[in-house]
Amino acid sequence: MSTPHRSIRSYVLRQGRVTDAQRRARDQWLSRFGIPYAQCALDLDCVFGRAAPKILEIGFGMGETTADIASRHPGNDYLGIEVHTPGVGSLLKRVAELGLKNVRVIQHDAVEVVERMILPASLDGVHVFFPDPWPKKRHHKRRLIQPAFVSLLATRMKPGAYLHVATDWESYALWILEVLTGERRFANTGDAFAPRSEHRPLTKFEARGLNLGHRVWEVLFRRV
Ligand SMILES: C[S@@+](CC[C@H](N)C(=O)[O-])C[C@H]1O[C@@H](n2cnc3c(N)ncnc32)[C@H](O)[C@@H]1O
């Protein structure tokens, strides 16, 4: 996958919704817990200052799930990627308030980060929770989960590492299942969709959807 000429992205940057508190938090904590985007690979053990399992989360939104999982699993290191400043500010603030030492954040397009900054066979797990569904057919090409990106992710994962995706959009769920099933370096941990993971806390976003009668589909594959 070549990124320099990539024009289709899985997000649209919405400016102007950043509160002063979110911007202050981002500016205050980014130098401590943030990693600037660069076109060179990271030594993740060096970044976190220890050898521990490394979990990548793509599109953490406001970061509630990231902070919750990281605080419950202090033995793992979590690298979160998100493009939106409010979410980055919000997660950084939480990380500072909770005194979490096992979270780092990159504010940049995850496709480019994975391609340029993550070394082959360096990840123990990947979380993609509620990626933007891009429901209109003409926008399906913007969906994050695409064969080329999944194939790239597979190269960055260690054998045995897991990829966990959750969505509340049925057609996207079916597409994700199809794409992951088609990637020879992944094996499904179940028959089709996985049962709800205890690992993943219920976010406000998800709770709202469930109250509206939405269903959630979970997909859990392992790198062979
Ligand atoms: C629907 S939200 C879900 C947020 C969160 N995971 C949750 O469950 O509440 C999807 C998020 O993915 C982010 N995103 C989409 N494409 C991305 C990309 N290529 N790189 C980084 N973040 C991305 C968006 O900015 C958005 O915050």
Query: Does any ligand 1 atom lie closer than 6 A to the CB of residue 132?
Result: yes
Query: Does any ligand 1 atom lie closer than 6 A to the CB of residue 172?
Result: no
Q: According to the model, what pLDDT value does residue 204 have?
A: 75
Burial of 205 (0-12, 13-18, 19+ CB in 10 A): middle
Query: Does any ligand 1 atom lie closer than 6 A to the CB of residue 81?
Result: yes
Query: Does any ligand 1 atom lie closer than 6 A to the CB of residue 87?
Result: yes
pTM of the model: 0.95
* Domain 36-223 architecture: 3-Layer(aba) Sandwich (3.40)
Task: Find the catalytic residue in 124, 132, 168, 191.
Answer: 132
Alpha-carbon gap, residue 49 to 204, rounded angstroms? 32
- Give me 127's structure tokens: 């979380």
Alpha-carbon gap, residue 95 to 67, rounded angstroms? 7
Q: 141 near 107, Cβ under 8 Å?
A: no
Q: CA–CA distance from 44 to each of 78, 113, 123, 164, 192 (Å)?
A: 10, 13, 9, 20, 32
Q: According to the model, what pLDDT value does residue 191 have?
A: 92
Q: According to the model, what pLDDT value does residue 199 have?
A: 86
Q: Is 132 a catalytic residue?
A: yes
- Give residue-wise pLDDT tens across range 55-65: 999 999 999 99
Ligand 1 closest atom vs CA 60 = 6
Q: How many CA atoms lie within 13 A of 205 on its CB side?
A: 16
Distance 223 CA to ligand 1 centre (A): 23
pLDDT tens, residue order, the chain (224 aa): 544 556 799 999 876 678 888 888 888 999 999 999 999 999 999 999 999 999 999 999 999 999 999 999 999 999 999 999 999 999 999 999 999 999 999 999 999 999 999 999 999 999 999 999 999 999 999 999 999 999 999 999 999 999 999 999 999 999 999 999 999 999 999 999 999 988 899 877 788 888 989 899 999 999 99
Q: According to the model, what pLDDT value does residue 15 have?
A: 67
Q: According to the model, what pLDDT value does residue 197 have?
A: 86
Alpha-carbon gap, residue 224 to 207, rounded angstroms? 33
Q: According to the model, what pLDDT value does residue 22 have?
A: 82
Q: According to the model, what pLDDT value does residue 189 have?
A: 97
